[in-house]
Structure 1
Amino acid sequence: MTLLVPYHQDDFLPDLGAALPPLTPTTTVVARLPDDARGWSRLAPIYRAVADAVQSRVRPGACQTVVSGCCCVSLGTLAGLQRAGVDAGVVWFDAHGDVQTMETSASGYLGGMPLRMMVGYRPELVGVRAIAESRAVLVDARDLDPPEVDYLRGADIRRSTVEELDTAALPDGPLLLHVDCDVVAAEDLPGLRFPVPGGPSAAAVVAALARVLATGRVAALDIACTWDPAAPDPTGARPRLLADLLALASRP
C-alpha cells in the first residue's frame, strides 16, 4: 500500500498524485488545518493523520511507503512506526542536511529541520520520540548551511556519500528510509524547489536505496517529491524516478 500525502508543508498539491505509477492501490491523506495556527501547530494535523495511517498498516516484514511533497511528512511516518512499537533508526538521503533549528535557521523554513527533530530537537512539537543521533545516517547532504556544519561536526550522526553507502554504515534494527528526491543531481531532475548542482545520478540513488532495502529491515520508505508539480518536465524524469523508487519498495 502506498500512502499519498499531497502537501508541501501546508500547501495542498492536488496534482502530486498524477505522477504516481499504478503499481499499488493508493490511500490519500488529507487533513483539516487550523486557520488560527502557524508553523508546526498548523502542520500537526497532517502528521497526526500520517501517523494514524502508518500505525494501522504496520505488518511484520512489510515496508510501508509514504509519498509526499515535503520532508516534514517523514515526522508523521516515524511517529506512526513508533506508535506501532517499531523502534526505527533513520537513513536520510537528501542534498541538504535538514538539521536546522528554529533558532539557527536564517529563513525559518521548517523543511530544513525534520532530521534534527528526530534526533532530539523539540520532538514533542510533532509527536515523535527522539532517537539517538548514532541511530541516524545522513547520506549526501552536499549543501549545508554554516550552523548545520557546526552541529554535524560534533554530532554522532553518521555521514556517507550515496555511492559509498553500504550495510555496515546502517543502524541496527528496523529502519525508516527517507529520500528527498533533490538528492539527485539538479541537472537530471527538473523543477526542484531547492535544486543543488552536482551530486549523484538518479541511477546511483536508486542503487543505493536498493542496497538498504535488500537488508529486509526497512519498515517504511518515505519519499519526498520536492518538486513543483506544475514545473515542466519534458523528458518525464520525475515520474520515471518515482516509478523506480516505488518498484523497489514493492519487491518481495
Structure 2
Amino acid sequence: MIGVPMDMGADRRGVDMGPSAIRYASVKEKLNSLGYEVEDLGNLQVPTPESYSVGQQQLKYLREIASVNRELADQVSEIKNRRRFPLILGGDHSIAIGTVAGVAKHHKKMGLIWFDAHGDLNTAETSPSGNIHGMPLSVSLGLGHPDLVEIGGFQPKVQPENIVIIGARQLDEGERKLIRDRGIKVFTMHDIDRLGMGPIMEETLKIVSDGTDGVHLSLDLDGIDPNEAPGVGTPVAGGMTYRESHLAMELLAESEVLTSAEFVEVNPILDTENKTANMAVALIGSVFGEKTL
C-alpha cells in the first residue's frame, strides 16, 4: 500500500489528505481482518503547490506531477516484481499516470476499469482547465505531453479496446470525440439506470478479461453520488448509489481477475465525519472479498 498525497493535478485543495483519511478509516485493519498481510510503504514525497510555479496554464504543475508519477511508477513496478498486489491511495487522479505505467510494465495487455464521473481523457489541447487530473486516461493511451506519456519508458500503456469507463456523467467535447474515435466502452449513469449494475459488470468483465494478462481498477470516489460520498475533489450530482458501488466491487472480487487497484480523490476538507474515506475503505473491503455471509 502506497499513499500519494497529490493535489497539484486539481484546482481544489484538500485531496492531499486523502491517504491519511483512508488510513484513519482503518483500511489496514479492514484488509487484515480479511486475511491479507498488508505492508504499508507510507507516502511518497509530493511538492506543495505554494512552493512551485503553475507553469503552463494548459498543463499546470507538469514538471512536479511528472516527477512524482515517475517515482510512483518505479515503486509500483517494484511491488509487482515482488509478486505483491499494489494498492494505491490518492490524492488526485493524476497519480493514475504513474500507477498504470508501473503496472503496465508487468501486464503488456492490461484490462482497465475506470470508475469515474469524468472521462479523464483530456489533453492540453482539449482541457477546459489545464488540470492534469483530467488527463490520466488519455496519457495512458499515449496521448499528451511526452513528459507524461513516456513515463516508464514506453507508450501506450493500455489499448482502447481493453478499457471500460463506468459511471460517467460529465464529459467534455474533446473527450466525447476521443471516445467515439477510439471506440472506448463507456457505461454512463443513464446506462446504469436502464440496465442495472449487474449486467454492466458482467459485460465489463468480459471486455477487460478478453485476451488480457491482468486488470487494473482505478476508482475515483466522485463516481459515487455526492450524497453518499460528499468529500471528493469534483462532485457531480446523480452518481452511483452505495449499493451499486458495492455490487460492482463484489462482482469484481468474484471474478478474481484484479491485479492492482487505486482509490483516489478523497477530500477530507469537503467531507462529513470522514464519510467518504469510510466508504472508500468499505469498497476496498468488497473488492478484496468481504461478504455478508
Task: Label 1:110 to 1:153 Cα distance change in 2 as closer, same or farther (>3 A).
Answer: same
Residue 138 of structure 1 and its aligned partner are, at CA, apart by 1.1
Equivalent residue, structure 2, for 1:194: 234
Relative to the length of structure 2, the TM-score reads 0.75
Residues 97, 212 of structure 1: alpha-carbon distance in 2 compared, 3 angstrom cutoff: same
More strand by proportion, 1 or 2? 1
Residue 242 (str. 1) matches residue 242 (str. 2): no
1:73 aligned residue (78, 95, 109): 95
> What is the CA–CA distance in structure 1 between the aligned matches of 2:98 and 2:253, rounded to whole Å?
20
**Partner Cα distance (1:71, 1:141) in 2:** 15
Q: CA deviation at 1:35?
A: 4.5
- Which amino acid letter does the alignment assign opposite residue 238 of structure 2? G
- Which deviations, in whole Å up to 9, do the C-alpha atoms of 1:74-102 show, x marking residues without a partner? 11111111334554221111001111110
Task: Return the TM-score normalized by structure 1.
Answer: 0.87
Corresponding residue to 1:107 among 119, 124, 129 = 129
Distance 1:89 1:67, change over 3 A: same
Unmatched 5+ residue regions in structure 1? none
Distance 1:211 1:123, change over 3 A: farther
CA contact (8 A) 2:92 2:233 kept: no
Where does the alignment leave 5 or more consecutive residues of structure 2 unmatched? 30-37, 56-60
Instruction: Give the counterpart letter for 2:45 in structure 1.
Output: A
AA of the residue aligned to 2:279: L
Quote the residue 1:96 is aligned against. 118
Runs of 4+ in structure 1 off by over 6 angstroms are none
Percentage of identical aligned residues: 22
SS across alignment from 1:214: helix
* TM-fit CA distance, 1:59: 6.0
Residue in structure 2 matched with residue 4 of structure 1 by the alignment: 3
The root-mean-square deviation of aligned C-alpha atoms, in Å, is 2.6
2:124 counterpart SS class: coil
CA distance in 2, matches of 1:26, 1:114: 24
- What is the SS of the residue equivalent to 1:30? coil
Give the drift of 1:15: 6.3
CA distance in 2, matches of 1:114, 1:15: 18
